[in-house]
Amino acid sequence: MKKLVLIVAGFASMAAALPASAGPDMQLIEKGRQAKKEQQMKQRNQTEQMMKACAEMMKKSS
């Protein structure tokens, strides 16, 4: 009886650990990369707009 309980407990623990050893979720990683890329592009666009506005102000004040 004790062996049966140990075998069942062993299988249960292996079954619980299986998703952890399955590896990374590549779809989730790619989604995160895409979000980061979009954020960087947005920041770049804002910076470029600020630089253009600053350059226009400099031309007007000269």
- How does pLDDT run across 9-54, given as a tens digit for each residue? 998 888 888 776 667 788 999 999 999 999 999 999 999 999 999 9
pLDDT band of residue 55 (cuts 50, 70, 90) is very high
Question: How far, in Å, CA of 7 to CA of 19, rounded?
Answer: 20
What single-letter DSSP state applies at residue 21? Answer: G
What does pTM read for this prediction? Answer: 0.53
Q: From residue 55, how far is each of 18, 43, 47 by CA, in Å?
A: 59, 18, 12
Question: How far, in Å, CA of 14 to CA of 21, rounded?
Answer: 10
Give the CA angle between residues 59, 55, 57 to the nearest 5°: 55
pLDDT computed for residue 30 by the predictor: 96
Phi, psi (degrees; rounded to nearest 5) at 25: -85, 95
